[in-house]
Structure 1
Amino acid sequence: PPYEDTWYYLTVTDSMGCTDRASLFYESIVAKADFELDPETGEAPLEVSFINNSQNTVEYKWHFGDDSTSILELPNPHTYYIPGNYYVILEARSEAGCLDITDSVKIFVEPSSLDVPNVFTPNGDGYNDNFYVAAKSLRSIHVKIMNRDGRKIYDFKGQGDELREWKGWDGKVGGSRYAAPGVYYYIIEALGWDDVEYRSQIYHGVLHLIREK
């Protein structure tokens, strides 16, 4: 049966050419659960928005795949903090009590990762100007840069919005004086949302600063 209220019409014509017409209004009681979500994948914390496309329904129950639920027709964006797979399901019920349940839709939150370069060229050409650690799904990070004498010349420690907005080291000392070209050393400690620890005993090494254009 259709999910929307519908008029049906029947027209009959006899052998004499006489015509009669009858109509019937069908009021649907069938529920159709349907939704969209965006995005389906990304790094943690991943905020996902939902659009309810259900038809002929008045009651809802969302299952977000992480043991949390909502009975709102249009739930607030939901944030997934722990990397992994999540399966979202929507239950929808019509005014007459008919229930429909969607198939599950998978959300994939990427595991944490850390990729450290060993060279950067802060020469103002807009390419590779910052020493930036390419990372995903990190809860926090601590980056230190040392010169060849072992003196710390850069130190960043951040999490949350501060971490997401971090652009890396721009090759300046104290935020204004250009560091000399040459060899530097980095020490990095980080923690992923999946509780993976990136320890300084492993994530340390040589960094080459080159200024030639």
Structure 2
Amino acid sequence: MKKNIFWVILFFCCHPVWGQDCECHPDQDLQHMLRWARTLSPLPFDTTGPLTTWSGISLNEEGCVQAIELPSLAMKGSIPYNTVGQLSCLQSLNLSDNKLSGIVPVDLVDLTQLEYLNLSYNSLVGPLPPDMALLSHLTAVRLQSNKFSDRLPQFGDNPNLIELFLSDNYFYGEIPASYELLSGLEALGLQNNDLSGPLPEYLAQLPCLYVFVISGNGFSGYADINLAFDQLLCNKSRSLVVNISENEFTHIPFVSLTTFAEDKFQVQNNRLTFDDILPNIHLFEGIFIGSYSVERYAPQKPFSGDTTLIFSTRDNPLIQLNIDSTVTGSEYTWYKDDVAITTTGHNYLDLKSVFNLPKDMPGVYRCEVINRDVPELTLYSGNYTVQIDLPDQFNIEFPSAFTPNGDGYNDTFIIPAIQEGNYLVNEFDVYDREGKLVLHINNYLNGWDGKDQSQSDLPIGTYYYRFHSEGNTFKGTITLLR
């Protein structure tokens, strides 16, 4: 399990007092607690006395268990069915930072008075009970740093829920649509899971959300992190905490809010480019004027994936980057097979501007991009494997004769490969029988009509040709007839 733990300390106070009474049966609570105690080691309380003497156990006025506060005791064991889940008056359950294992029992959702649930930093496994939405009085849920799996739990329409920390587990899938109903949510920690998909649009509109940490997942696409935190509505003044680092996001908006806690706006290790970072560069300012906390936006993952490009010799071989070309101050350095070949101010590479011959173009290309206004950030493209569909030199055919007599048939020396768009960069020479050069053409395009260099008709007879293109030379004889 990933252990890069982000811990947000929020003082949990002012629990609401619910008007609904619980069914209090002190004797039954004692039996449930004794049954649970038999699974624990070391035992955190003396079970020989009444519940009023048990360490970490608080009772209500009727003598039923109202709170269990047993954190950081190195306590081993589990939470079996028909034990803690039967304490009908329980409002606070804190078993954090122990060594508990096993699953969370399904009868935990019967604790309808539960307001505070903290099982963090244990080794609990499996999916959570499917009906967590029944716990409608919950104000804080801290389940981080366990081994929970399955999709994220649903909490229904619960405006009372303030804290939801589910980080450092094995939850997967997308953020549930039902979280839109958590209108009082102030802190959401989902970091270091296997979550994916786009961010729901409603998240940024939750009016009291000011801690939003989802780093270390596989979220992708557009990340709307313009939180709509309303200090007046929530009656609180808070510094924002936003961490979307180590995901697959490709774009973020201009963030209008600036009330971030120091160093608590982090976007590094995504697939963002300068058009995302530049408008928000002020959010990364360091403690000294003109300095930046580079580690909060750099590095970034390659902004494009690996791909293979296949060109024919008739194509315009162009590698186009999926990156905003309107951003000023960017410089592009291109590499072929890890050797720098050119630096330009463009987000594309025209291979014909670098190589004269198509046979020199195949290879693995990549690009590094820097910008003068974003210190110490270099963007990397993926690898572009370029293949050129070169014609097979052994399949090139040359005519053995032609008849430039103006009858419209076979009047010029036609090389079929040139008609097909190949070998367009070439040299074409014609020699008479005595070896004298009578014609030289650069970039021959099938236009020779039997004339010499001075445009005089050559006599009927046999001539020798030499055709050179792309490092290949072809020689042969041609009979000129009229």
TM class, shorter-length = 0.5 to 0.7
Residue 69 of structure 1, CA deviation: 2.2
Corresponding residue of 1:90: 367
RMSD: 4.9
Does structure 2 retain, via aligned residues, the 8 Å contact 1:137–1:193? no
Aligned ranges 1:45-84 → 2 under 5 Å = 48-55=317-324, 58-65=330-337, 67-74=339-346, 77=350, 78-82=353-357, 83-84=359-360
Corresponding residue of 2:439: 156
Aligned ranges 1:1-213 → 2 under 5 Å = 6=224, 8=226, 26=255, 30-31=272-273, 33=303, 40-42=311-313, 48-55=317-324, 58-65=330-337, 67-74=339-346, 77=350, 78-82=353-357, 83-84=359-360, 85-93=362-370, 95=374, 97=377, 99-108=379-388, 110=390, 113=393, 115-124=397-406, 126-133=408-415, 134=417, 136=423, 140-144=427-431, 146=432, 150=433, 155-158=438-441, 163-165=442-444, 167-172=446-451, 175-177=455-457, 184-194=461-471, 196-198=472-474, 203-207=475-479, 209=481
Residue 115 of structure 1, CA deviation: 3.0
Counterpart residue identity of residue 332, structure 2: Y
Does structure 1 retain, via aligned residues, the 8 Å contact 2:426–2:469? yes
Distance, in Å, in 2 between the alignment partners of 1:26 and 1:165 is 59
Residue 80 of structure 1, CA deviation: 1.9
Tell me: CA distance 1:80–1:110, structure 2 relative to 1, closer, same or farther (3 Å).
farther
Tell me: CA distance 1:39–1:81, structure 2 relative to 1, closer, same or farther (3 Å).
farther
Distance, in Å, in 1 between the alignment partners of 2:385 and 2:468 is 29
Runs of 4+ in 1 over 6 A off after TM superposition: 1-5, 151-154
- The SS at the match of 1:170 is coil
Residue 106 of structure 1, CA deviation: 0.5
Distance, in Å, in 2 between the alignment partners of 1:49 and 1:60 is 15
Higher helix share: 2
Tell me: CA distance 1:111–1:7, structure 2 relative to 1, closer, same or farther (3 Å).
same
Corresponding residue of 2:121: none
Tell me: CA distance 1:66–1:72, structure 2 relative to 1, closer, same or farther (3 Å).
same
- The SS at the match of 1:171 is coil
Does structure 2 retain, via aligned residues, the 8 Å contact 1:117–1:132? yes
Distance, in Å, in 2 between the alignment partners of 1:188 and 1:10 is 77
- The SS at the match of 2:313 is strand
1:40-85 deviations in whole A, cap 9, x for unaligned?
3317xx9744544314794432114594422323167423234152
Does structure 1 retain, via aligned residues, the 8 Å contact 2:399–2:414? yes
Tell me: CA distance 1:109–1:138, structure 2 relative to 1, closer, same or farther (3 Å).
farther
Does structure 1 retain, via aligned residues, the 8 Å contact 2:318–2:349? yes
Counterpart residue identity of residue 189, structure 1: R
- The SS at the match of 1:115 is coil
- Percent sequence identity is 17
Distance, in Å, in 2 between the alignment partners of 1:139 and 1:122 is 22
Does structure 1 retain, via aligned residues, the 8 Å contact 2:424–2:445? no
Residue 130 of structure 1, CA deviation: 0.7
Does structure 2 retain, via aligned residues, the 8 Å contact 1:93–1:100? no
Residue 156 of structure 1, CA deviation: 1.5
Corresponding residue of 1:15: none
Counterpart residue identity of residue 122, structure 1: P
Higher-Rg member (1/2): 2
Residue 102 of structure 1, CA deviation: 1.6
Does structure 2 retain, via aligned residues, the 8 Å contact 1:88–1:107? no
Distance, in Å, in 1 between the alignment partners of 2:449 and 2:437 is 10
The higher relative CO (CA closer than 8 Å, separation ≥ 6) is in 1
Distance, in Å, in 1 between the alignment partners of 2:408 and 2:303 is 49
Gaps of 5+ in 1: 13-17
Equivalent pairs counted in the alignment come to 184
Does structure 2 retain, via aligned residues, the 8 Å contact 1:52–1:73? no
Distance, in Å, in 2 between the alignment partners of 1:9 and 1:186 is 81
Tell me: CA distance 1:140–1:153, structure 2 relative to 1, closer, same or farther (3 Å).
closer
Tell me: CA distance 1:141–1:185, structure 2 relative to 1, closer, same or farther (3 Å).
same
Residue 98 of structure 1, CA deviation: 5.4
Higher strand share: 1
